[in-house]
Chains A and B, each alone.
Chain A
Amino acid sequence: MNSRTIEMRWHGRGGQGAKTAALLLADVAFKTGKQVQGFPEYGPERMGAPITAFNRVSDHKIRVHSHIYTPDFVVVVDDTLLESVDVTSGLKADGAIIINTSRSKEEILPLLKGYKGGVYTIDARKISIAALGKYYPNSPMLATAVAVSGVMDTEEFLDEMQASFQHKFASKPEVVEGNMMALKMALEEVTRKQQEVA
């Protein structure tokens, strides 16, 4: 896999779980033997305020403790942020942006200020409601981020997440199946979109 450090920036709103998703990504990348960093940047502490979270994943020790200004990948957990936050700021042209939206890629593109790299839309709400019956965008967004960034093999990712969910939801095993379903549905959708691009 990639020997350099992969940098990822997450944009969400307070309460939506962008920070949790970044920490989950750090967690699962750690389990595959990587050096990891996952951290949030808080503005005012309130629900709904824009928040940013960051990931670095590397084969080498990570010492830098600054934010990420030129990410390889950007994940937008709430598409209403596209109008107010400069989500593609510094995003590398050979990288990609992943957006949780029910809108089509064609509808989203004009909001991306001419970004030339990969653009992936995923309807995390639809997937989450189909798989879990509730709207938790974390699992589908995490799976999409893993698939698009290639920080780890997707099979390895699913194995680790299965173990992680079984541990986390030990008292409610029914949730494990739904979350695994959400991950797989997102992976299938993003793989299909990657093939369309290729």
Chain B
Amino acid sequence: MSIKERMSGNEAVSYAIKQINPDVMPAFPITPSTEIPQMVSGYVANGEIDTEFIAVESEHSAMSAAVGASAAGARTLTATSSCGLALMWEVLHIAASNRLPIALALVNRTLSGPININCDHSDSMGARDSGWIQIYAENNQEAYDNFIQAYRIAENKEVLLPVMICQDGFITSHAVENIELLEDEKVKAFVGEYEPEDFLLNPGKPMAVGPYAVTGYGMEAKKNQEIAMENSRSVILDVAREFAALTGRKYGYFEEYHLEDAEYAMLIIGSAAGTAKDAVDELRKTGKKVGILKLRVFRPFPGKEIAQALKNVKAVAVMDRSESYRGGGGPLGVEVGSALFMERVHIEAVNYIYGLAGRDFTVENAIEVFSEMEAMVTEGREVPQYQYVGLRK
């Protein structure tokens, strides 16, 4: 029996953390993720968990302490947003290259400037090549479910990589919605005990973490890190299958919503996917064959699977909630375009930028995008291959 509750996305992730009872959490507060360390330190103060909470002086220190704790052999996590993640930048790479299975609860918020506290994906997308696994959530339920799966993926011996569990700042982090929780003992049994093979606090097996690699070895270390990311693909699916057996809630690299017979598809990440699903339902009522590919796992990037899922559509709108400033689109636009090309899938693709700095994305916005896809294909309307949704004129 699941527990029916209502809570915000931040509460949901904090609750998952409480159920997992990790060993160490260094954290520095930043909106909109502040509630997570706040609630976890509350659990610690109340004696509900015995996590060692370390109040550090910056996010650089938070991730550095997480690296130290994880290398020592502790199950470790932190939480942050926006500029906090940016300040962790250097250490994100240290965590991944040292193969430390740290979990990071990321509450997506735009990077400055202009200073703005609201959601976009510029923080996590900026860290897309830091070697972290990245998993995104549509709502509080998915943020909770993803966090419970995080350590099983990260700590797998074939993987040993840090994982970022992302949710949309304010839109899900501060929205109270219905949720189904698992009982504590089910979460504990699912996540299991952390038993690191190699760790610093093991007097029987001394080791070094983060030593210098001469040119004769550095490249091999990096290739091994890439192999670990490659290995995470099957682990992510295995863990999702086990999770589905436990909860009935199915996860994969992405969710397909009415994609099977769709002529026009929208590829989108995060909370806006829910809004887009409502748009699909409305358009389906009028006979339009439209569907959604909601990307859950961005790292590793499931390019082949995405291309295969889209091969029968006439056009896809690739929706980016961050700007690359490369003069031609966002990160998803590039990666999906590349995946389609590599898989020899020849369909129309338009890269839309939406929702920057918390700009609202509505059902009407999604309908307009689908209409434009259709007009492009059926009427030959000229459509810019890279454009903005909901921009003030």
Contacts and interface: CB of A to CB of B under 8 A. Distances in A.
A27 B275 contact: no
B247 interface: no
B174 interface: yes
A188 B31 CA distance: 40
Contacts of A61: 178
B117 A27 contact: no
B363 A37 contact: no
Interface string A165-194: 000000000000000000000000000000
Chain A interface size band reads 20 to 34
Contacts of A131: none
B363 A66 contact: yes
Interface residues of B, number: 25
B176 A39 contact: yes
B176 A67 contact: no
Contacts of A40: 170, 174
B313 to A, nearest CB: 22
Interface in B338-390: 360-363
Interface in A55-105: 61-67, 69
A108 to B, nearest CB: 29
Given A36-B6, A64-B275, A66-B361, 4 more contacts: A26-B176, A36-B178, A39-B170, A65-B175
19 contacts: A23-B176, A26-B176, A30-B6, A30-B178, A35-B177, A36-B177, A38-B176, A39-B176, A42-B117, A42-B118, A62-B177, A63-B138, A63-B274, A63-B275, A63-B277, A65-B139, A65-B168, A65-B171, A67-B362
Interface of A: 23, 26-27, 30, 35-42, 45, 61-67, 69
Interface of B: 6, 31, 117-118, 138-139, 168, 170-172, 174-178, 271-272, 274-275, 277-278, 360-363
